[in-house]
Amino acid sequence: MDELPPVLILDILNRVNDFADLARCRLSSKTLNALSYDVRSLNLFCSYDRYLKSKAPGTKDFVTPFKKVIKKVLKNLRNIESVAIGVEKPFRGLFDEDDGDDESDDLYLSDVNFVSEWLPEISGGLKSLSVSDFWAQSCWRQSEVLSRISSFCHVLLKLELKNAWLSVEGLKPMPMLTSLTLEYVRLDDEDLEKVNQCFPSLQNLSLIGVGGLKEPKIHFLQLRTCHWTVSNAPISLTIHAPNLTSLKLNCVKPKSLVLEAPLLSILYLCIEGTDKFGLACLSHLKSLHIETADICILGQLFQSGRTVETSVVDSSKWDEIVAVGGEVGFGALSSAFPNVCALELGPRSWSALEMSFHMRRLNKESRMKDLKKLMAYLRLSEFGVTCSFISSLLDQCTNLSDVALLIHRDVSFDVACRLRSRCVRDFPRVGWRWGFWKEETEDIWVS
């Protein structure tokens, strides 16, 4: 190894970004030890096994505190650009119930005093920083780590903070930051407002399970992509992002939802319903994935449906809607998305459309003249109805040439084969693909 060119050795070390492997390299060779201080990326994660050993009476005295390990590994790094510290993903939720609010602080990694011990030394060229806390130790301790990061990291482009109770006290503007992820953190509305003000160049935003918000407002002029998952009590949501092109929004039943994003082209919306829905004209919308039981929301989205080329439609409650006479027939979809080229129908929406077809049949108003690709999840509860529905769809959608059907795994193999044979025989012009699906498992394709 010592005979290799230093540039090549450093390239190898940059691919070994786990701190345990890097420590082994330092011990194995003087050359590796010297060059290891020039690595550009480093991940330091505490394993669940290490955590258990740090608590067990027989081993805890032999386990080096994790904070001490972090400080030692990060010390004297010369060219570091990316640092991630935290606990492994399986760690979440695996601590004992009697831990409660853990009074120890070795895994309270957003501790501002701890961060101040190592961040100033490496912050000069740091472009990416991720801190993932241990919730049992961080949930009852409010951290001002955002303030400390904004004070030292002047060229930071990407920031991730997870499992922490954050304060924005002392937060300074970070005009270079373009990507922000806040996952399972506590924030207040006024805190989010300051985040809006201090990150003027933000292009990518992820808010996953952010608690404490009541009427949150997102207002980022440069924002391009956003993933927002709301998991707490009903709140009012407002998104004002004139340059937003891709939005994934998961919320249960907000009091209101206001979306002002005129350039939006990709929308994933999972929502049960809302008392108030404000949607600006989405004249650039090309791809829509919607899961909802609220027909009113569907109707409002349909106003922007003429530009949609790719659509995925499903809902956990459509079966109930159809049962009480709700209108979710294929004609409604064709009216909503007259120019759609590719359509995916989830299992519940397909069942609802089948039921609607059984009661009303398809007519000329159900045509989708531009539809070329269809993907559907079938339960095959009524074999004859399913066959008739597929046949009617292909008769009405004459340009449909690529059909992918996934059949539930509980359906007998003989029945699935009968459907396949019938479809291929009756519509040889169509390119058929087949597979099987089941809840909470990956789809299996057979052809």
Per-residue model confidence (pLDDT) at position 41: 85
Q: What are phi and psi of 10, to 5 degrees?
A: -65, -35
Question: Are 82 and 174 part of one and the same domain?
Answer: yes
Q: What are phi and psi of 38, to 5 degrees?
A: -110, 10
Question: Are 330 and 440 part of one and the same domain?
Answer: yes
Amino acid at 13: L
CA distance 262 to 239: 11
The answer to whether residue 20 is domain-embedded is no
CA distance 343 to 397: 12
Reported pTM: 0.83
Angle subtended at Cα 298 by Cα 305 and Cα 287, rounded to the nearest 5 degrees: 40
Per-residue model confidence (pLDDT) at position 199: 96
Per-residue model confidence (pLDDT) at position 406: 96
Domain end call among 155, 170, 197: 197
* CA atoms within a 13 Å half-sphere pointing along the CA-CB vector of 107: 27
The answer to whether residue 291 is domain-embedded is no
Identify the domain containing residue 429 by its residue range: 301-447
Per-residue model confidence (pLDDT) at position 298: 59
Question: Are 228 and 192 part of one and the same domain?
Answer: no
Question: Are 226 and 308 part of one and the same domain?
Answer: no
CA distance 376 to 397: 15
Q: What is the crossing angle of helices 112-122 and 145-152, to 10°?
A: 10
Amino acid at 72: K
Could you tell me the CATH number of the domain that includes residue 354? 3.80.10
The answer to whether residue 350 is domain-embedded is yes
Amino acid at 42: L
Look over the chain and give the mean of its residue pLDDT values, rounded to a whole number.
83
Per-residue model confidence (pLDDT) at position 401: 93
Question: Are 64 and 92 part of one and the same domain?
Answer: yes
Q: Considering its fold, how many domains does the chain have in total?
A: 3
The answer to whether residue 2 is domain-embedded is no
Per-residue model confidence (pLDDT) at position 365: 59
Question: Are 263 and 187 part of one and the same domain?
Answer: no
CA distance 73 to 70: 5
The answer to whether residue 21 is domain-embedded is no
Domain end call among 151, 174, 197: 197
The answer to whether residue 5 is domain-embedded is no
Question: Are 46 and 152 part of one and the same domain?
Answer: yes
Give tens-digit pLDDT for 49-105: 888 888 889 998 889 999 998 998 888 888 899 999 998 764 554 444 444 456 788
CA distance 62 to 439: 45
**pLDDT tens digit at each of 447 positions of the chain:** 556 666 666 666 666 656 666 666 666 666 666 666 778 888 888 888 888 888 889 998 889 999 998 998 888 888 899 999 998 764 554 444 444 456 788 999 999 999 999 999 999 999 999 999 998 888 889 999 999 999 999 999 999 999 999 999 999 999 999 999 999 998 887 888 999 999 999 999 999 988 888 888 999 999 999 999 987 666 788 999 999 999 999 887 788 888 899 999 999 988 876 667 677 677 888 888 888 765 556 555 556 667 788 888 776 554 444 443 344 567 667 777 778 899 998 888 888 788 877 776 666 555 678 889 999 999 998 899 999 999 988 888 889 999 999 999 999 999 999 999 999 999 999 999 999 999 989 999 997
Per-residue model confidence (pLDDT) at position 318: 46
The answer to whether residue 30 is domain-embedded is no
Q: Is 209 left (phi over 0), alpha (psi -120 to 50) or beta?
A: left
Domain end call among 176, 197, 218: 197
C-alpha dihedral (229, 313, 221, 276), degrees to nearest 10: -80
Question: Are 318 and 442 part of one and the same domain?
Answer: yes
Per-residue model confidence (pLDDT) at position 152: 96
Amino acid at 162: K
Residue 242's SS3 state is coil
Question: Are 44 and 191 part of one and the same domain?
Answer: yes
Question: Are 272 and 401 part of one and the same domain?
Answer: no
CA distance 226 to 237: 14
Question: Are 180 and 217 part of one and the same domain?
Answer: no
The answer to whether residue 289 is domain-embedded is no
Angle subtended at Cα 45 by Cα 40 and Cα 46, rounded to the nearest 5 degrees: 155
Question: Are 334 and 407 part of one and the same domain?
Answer: yes
